[in-house]
Structure 1
Amino acid sequence: MTNLKQIKHLLSRAGFGMRFDDLKATGDQTNKEVIAGLFSSSEKHEPLNVAKSIGDYTMARKGRKKADQAERKMLMQMQRQQEREINLAWIDLMSKDNGQLREKMALFWNNHFACRSKQPLHAQQLVNMQRQHALGNFKTLTLAIAKSPAMLQFLNNQQNLKGHPNENFARELMELFTIGRGNYTEQDVKESARAFTGWGYDQSGEFRFRPAAHDDDRKTFLGKSGNFTGEDIINSLFDKKETARFISTKLYKYLVNETPDTAHINVMSDVFYKANYEIKPLLEYIFTAEWFYEDKNIGNLVKSPVELIVGLNRQFDIAYQKPAILLQFQKVLGQVLLYPPNVAGWPGGRNWIDSSSLMYRIKIPSTLLNGGMIDFNGKADPEDEAFLATAKVMKEAAGTRVQAHANWNKFLGSIPPSLDNKSLAQFMLQPTISNALTKTVAQAKDKKALVIELVSSPEYQLS
């Protein structure tokens, strides 16, 4: 296959890496055929459905003005348990589902619209929105997120009322979600906040517009005046090409290179804007562009912790006797799903790596593949601590045996018999192999031992 290098690069960026099974499936397909297959396999999806209804949490409180301490503790434990289950369910889905492009993009949107919700049903709803619209229309996704109870609560728009506007959501909508800094004024923030007054949700978690709480006076936003609503503000932001540029830049850094290329991003912005913010045409342009496959854009991105974990799970078909250990992996690597550090999300890139996380990044693959012991140190932030406590992994932090089973028979059996050690290493790793690792590869007598060496190398941290 003459285009193996390109397809391997494509699957590492549009998914979570290439497996030997993928090698067989793609056969002699062209890049365009593989790209079409990525979209086709991502057309259908099943929503996550592990969180219980809000009523299940509040039933015990029915008919009582105030829950006692024991009841509040019970309700919190139920919520934490649900948060844990949503996290692990999504990890499991990413690890097993064929719709890799959908899940990879949902992971991007999950960090773009970074949000913490203490209500599991709302958190699950948010993730399902991001998965549903991951390859659809960005404007539609933005409006859905803006009206979601998770985001309304997280950015205080539930408290955004006529005469007492709260600017949190309006500010982040512009600064982080759409147009970006430098393209609006403080007065635009104030005026748009007034437009979002009255947006909230009811006890069932459904969006509700409350006319009595809405400021229906005239507003001036981005140079135009009118009796604007929240929908009008979002429409105005999407009329500006700066929004297409802002998102294109973030996507370039996520899929191509941490160092933006102005010329390429300019064209991406044109494609995105002319497509009325449809995501698929933009991705098709990126994945078919010659510059996407240039050597400088291959093996140059640091895998996020979730990408690292999911990639291992998919490559080696790993089964966990105690899946809660995956929460601990996320914690020590610095990315606990559903718990971004703030509304700006995880900064990503080289920020994923520090002396502590690199040690665990090198150690975790071999530990998983050998079912070995691993010591966890470090401390999560208070909310992460409470989240992880539900899984009872904090108490087992020191000297935890990772009870995982890698399907070595399947993995080794999928390796083409003609593949030599050097070719095996080139398949497993994206960047150019270092001289030190080249010697290890040349001297290896056992393929299983070699593979463990490869996934425990610094090169394996890059996609």
Structure 2
Amino acid sequence: MNFYAEPHFRDVSRVRYLLNRAAFGGTPSELANLSRQPLRKVVRQLLNTNAAVTNLQVVEPEENVSKRRLKGMMRAGQLDRQVLKEQIRQNAERVRDLNLQWLDRMASGTGALREKMALFWHGHFACRTMGKNPLFMQQYANTLRQHALGRFGDLLMAVSQEPAMLQFLNNQQNRKNAPNENFAREVMELFTLGRGNYSEQDIKEAARAFTGWQFTPEGQFVFHERVHDEGEKTIFSKTGAFKGEDVIAMLLENSQTARFITRKIYRFFVNETEDTKRMDELAGLFYKSGYNIGELMEHILTADWFYDPKNVGAHIKSPVELLAGMRHTLGVTFDQPQPQIFVQRTLGQVLFYPPNVAGWPGGKNWIDSSSLLFRMQLPGYVLKAADVLVRPKEDGDVNTESLARKGGQNFRTTVNWTDFEASFAKTPEADLPDALAVTLLPFPLRPDQRTLIETQVKTAQTRSERVRTITTALMSLPEYQLT
């Protein structure tokens, strides 16, 4: 029989594609159950935003002491250098814990589209932990997650007023008579309009409007009127005594913002090869809906063209998608935290440490000769709990290097093989490679791939051992890197 022509497996393939794009993959039982439901109903379940968002929590506000404050305490004689170093180390460790806690949420499958969308927004509103401040990054991450599927205007305002972002983009130094243009520039260039859709004069005047947007050491946004420039500004040909909120409103009034955001969402969730006509249609819907992110995503994920063969397998998994997806599909837990940081560093995507304000470039930039080899070896390391001989790339980033503590290369994992194998209990032996491939890969197995996998299966193996051998072999194929 033609295994892939069976209607049920066509449905499984479609749901697997949806869950890989809109979430972090699916377990075999999830794919089997959801493939029996209308696709629109599955998308509605993914979009269910009624469930309360449980905040990430690694530090209480009253426990948090920033690096800058710690150094001030040392200068005042309130603590010695050794205590200072230990406190800074603890702050960095809490940011690491925040990274892993968020990764746990992604891998859990709960609210998966919200977490996937928040990961997208983390790249769009790229922000690094400055001074290793875990509270600021915790608030920033929770803001992304809370607003991930809401209205873009609410998200834009909330992120723009996050202390982590104001600190990262130097707006604390933006004062009347001495404006700092960094924040205003990035809000226009990277967050809303895109390069070439504003003038340098717009930047200068908007920077004046954002004067006074500051924050307290406790992580609260404050508007300091005494350092705000109250004079008239001319921005986008409008003149008035504008404040930061007025600039945000002007950016949202401009339909170019809808086009810019829609383009980035399309490239992330659909295909890096752009379809201008389709993106313009989506941007129009997005603008008319008042920038409703959930509505835009529902339109994309239920459209027939989303499932077009040219889109299937066109997306390269980011390191975080790869790791979270592997964990979710097979119920993988790591006995120690460091290996997951090691994987992120080695593959070039550490949560809360984007390379710059533009975020991770993504797409084909994720792959080079060394990273592809490690990606293909990773399933073997994870599923066989092996020690890794690869070293992370030297990125010259002292912040991510400080995360690389001992134990990162010692993979000790627990895999929920029992649940995974149960889904294939009734699969005939001859169909096992194809059934597993439908669950794990975007394309049917080629004859040469099937031959390669069959050579790895030993006749003396038990059924359980064969499932594990085939699964590891399939996840080690280059196609597993695609969705």
Q: TM-score range with shorter-chain normalisation?
A: over 0.9
CA separation of 1:287/1:48 partners in 2, compared to 1, >3 Å: closer, same or farther?
same
Query: Could you say which residue in structure 1 is the equivalent of 2:167?
Result: 153
Query: Could you say which residue in structure 2 is the equivalent of 1:450?
Result: 470
Look up the SS of the partner of 1:115 in the other structure: coil
Q: TM-score, normalised by structure 1?
A: 0.94
Query: Could you say which residue in structure 1 is the equivalent of 2:339?
Result: 325
Range with bigger deviation, 407-416 or 110-119: 407-416
Shift of 1:441: 4.5
Contact 1:14–1:101, Cα closer than 8 Å, also in 2: yes
Shift of 1:422: 1.7
Picking from 452, 456, 461, the partner of 1:440 is: 452
Picking from 209, 216, 231, the partner of 2:223 is: 209
Matched, 1:462 2:453: no
Query: Could you say which residue in structure 1 is the equivalent of 2:100?
Result: 88
Range with bigger deviation, 298-307 or 16-25: 16-25
Query: Could you say which residue in structure 1 is the equivalent of 2:114?
Result: 102
5 Å matches for 1:259-274?
259-274=273-288
Shift of 1:432: 4.4
Query: Could you say which residue in structure 2 is the equivalent of 1:140?
Result: 154
Q: Distance in 1 between matches of 2:284 and 2:322?
A: 33
Contact 2:106–2:112, Cα closer than 8 Å, also in 1: yes
5 Å matches for 1:115-134?
115-117=127-129, 118-134=132-148
Look up the SS of the partner of 1:220 in the other structure: strand
Range with bigger deviation, 264-273 or 415-424: 415-424
Matched length: 457
Contact 2:64–2:135, Cα closer than 8 Å, also in 1: no
Q: Deviations over 1:234-266 (max 9, x none)?
A: 100110110000000000010000111101101
Q: Deviations over 1:354-405 (max 9, x none)?
A: 111111101111111011121132324333444314xx23xx56xx331112
Q: Distance in 2 between matches of 1:113 and 1:86?
A: 18
Query: Could you say which residue in structure 2 is the equivalent of 1:405?
Result: 414
Look up the SS of the partner of 1:373 in the other structure: coil
The two structures, once aligned, show a CA RMSD in angstroms of 1.9
Shift of 1:34: 0.5
Identity of aligned residues (%): 42
Q: Distance in 2 between matches of 1:182 and 1:258?
A: 21
Query: Could you say which residue in structure 1 is the equivalent of 2:381?
Result: 367
Q: Distance in 2 between matches of 1:236 and 1:47?
A: 31
5 Å matches for 1:32-431?
32-40=40-48, 43-53=51-61, 55-57=63-65, 65-66=76-77, 67-117=79-129, 118-377=132-391, 378-389=393-404, 392-393=405-406, 396=407, 400-415=409-424, 417-418=426-427, 420=431, 421-431=433-443
Look up the SS of the partner of 1:181 in the other structure: coil
Q: Distance in 2 between matches of 1:55 and 1:98?
A: 29
* One-letter identity of the residue aligned with 1:415: F
Q: Which aligned segments of 4 or more residues in structure 1 are displaced greater than 4 angstroms?
A: 58-64, 441-445
Contact 2:350–2:400, Cα closer than 8 Å, also in 1: no
Look up the SS of the partner of 2:403 in the other structure: helix
Q: TM-score, normalised by structure 2?
A: 0.91
Shift of 1:439: 2.1
Matched, 1:3 2:17: no
Q: Distance in 1 between matches of 2:64 and 2:12?
A: 51
* One-letter identity of the residue aligned with 1:104: K
Q: Distance in 1 between matches of 2:64 and 2:272?
A: 44
Matched, 1:22 2:43: no
Look up the SS of the partner of 2:315 in the other structure: coil
Look up the SS of the partner of 1:45 in the other structure: coil
Q: Distance in 2 between matches of 1:190 and 1:335?
A: 33
Q: Distance in 1 between matches of 2:418 and 2:384?
A: 14
CA separation of 1:222/1:432 partners in 2, compared to 1, >3 Å: closer, same or farther?
farther
Q: Distance in 2 between matches of 1:296 and 1:27?
A: 21
Query: Could you say which residue in structure 2 is the equivalent of 1:31?
Result: 39
Shift of 1:55: 4.4
* One-letter identity of the residue aligned with 1:430: P
Q: Distance in 2 between matches of 1:188 and 1:35?
A: 40
Contact 2:93–2:403, Cα closer than 8 Å, also in 1: no
Q: Deviations over 1:410-460 (max 9, x none)?
A: 211122513622232122101343443132355656222111100011000
CA separation of 1:332/1:225 partners in 2, compared to 1, >3 Å: closer, same or farther?
same
Look up the SS of the partner of 1:341 in the other structure: coil
Q: Distance in 1 between matches of 2:387 and 2:63?
A: 41
* One-letter identity of the residue aligned with 1:368: V
CA separation of 1:188/1:295 partners in 2, compared to 1, >3 Å: closer, same or farther?
same
Range with bigger deviation, 144-153 or 438-447: 438-447
Contact 1:433–1:459, Cα closer than 8 Å, also in 2: no
